[in-house]
Structure 1
């Protein structure tokens, strides 16, 4: 069966997080609230960085890309889920499912690379402060971002091509609130084992490289901080890295938690609930982490809020 016929014939069903109609209304309100908090929270942080010239540094510009990525990620998954609940129509087309899985894969991997690049930026700033501004010039950090995005897109396309060559059976129910590629592959009649192995290998390699870079960077950062003579210098270094390290722990911690949950618990629904922790919670929480733990960000946010109040 060719791809064009698949797109016409196959209709997937996103069963969401529950079949209980009473719980669905609660889930609708909860996810709508989380979505709005995520969008407005990330927009507020981006405006704060844009309006404060002191924050026009690589670290905060990387943050802007990260927050744009967060908004895109939740906009791919949550609105479709809300529409499905509201209309009581759980269908999604083959092309729609494939596209959603592709873009989610791109966003997740792009976040991995951005967190790795941000760790490298902190490594240069703390371990080699005199070389930091020379190495991390505007041209170089744009190259880093574009390279990260390119690799993420290539990885997403590889995963999508794997799905295109699968043949599906009649049972096309996905017990998830979005078309996660691993869940779609489980519906295949044949060839899914090889595809699962390939996805695991590529995901481990592409996600593992940034993680190794983060670990390497923070080992050297910790070594440099411990050698600093003044407590003020140590505090400044820790404060600039604390927010990023918290975001890294939240992202990778929830990601590994979901993977372990999916291996230990043989329940697609519980795995779907756990996946909320890496796809929805980090985009919602990370703006708060940076705004509460970073002094410069607090000051910039205060200025933006004052400007907004003056316009209202």
Structure 2
């Protein structure tokens, strides 16, 4: 098994060096704060960076407020039964078999609780699953074990591989971001609706960014979609969240959210062309006009 793991790691390293020649560098992007990353010892969800994630956090808090009183009540009831209805405290057990009011209560109250949960969760699910008109469309493909990205409106493509420890500083990352940072990142503008088309080339993968509240399986031969709108500039991390083979733990996701101007400039550095009348062309023209003045 160790030999197989070493051979697999060597294959991934070879693939990394092969794709390094065609991967798009983003070293001209501004320095960005890390906003979406796991915290050591943390138990809560990451701070939401999109409206979708805010809905997820609200539901999580709502369920917490519901389940904590239920857990306390059930625990207290169990303790009461253990203390007051054991053989020593109550040697003569009751003989009744029915209690209609109690049976109605333990049926009606859970049903009402479920209705409350459904009242809030169904609209949130609909909001997350209803795709808006995209300002940016990106197709991401899961491979064993890296991600490929294609900006379908601009003919920009690249692959994204996990950075090794010795490479982190060269790309501007700290050592605590090992297993999270990649050599290239998906770059998106803040304040724009981003639609991500998710698929896979070999086995099932899953594209997930906790701070955005999104997680979508990529299935070979199928094209699924998710969307988000990032509220703040920064670096956000995710992971493949579907067991996809021996190096499943080594295919992280990096997203860099930048201003509209920085995003358009990044696209231009990749040789992208903008359709006249598109919001990207408007931003480019505005920047050029400001520079000329």
More relative contact order, 1 or 2 (CA 8 Å, 6+ apart): 1
Q: TM-score normalised by the shorter chain: which range applies?
A: under 0.3
Give 1 or 2 for the bigger CA radius of gyration: 2
Structure 1 length-normalised TM: 0.25
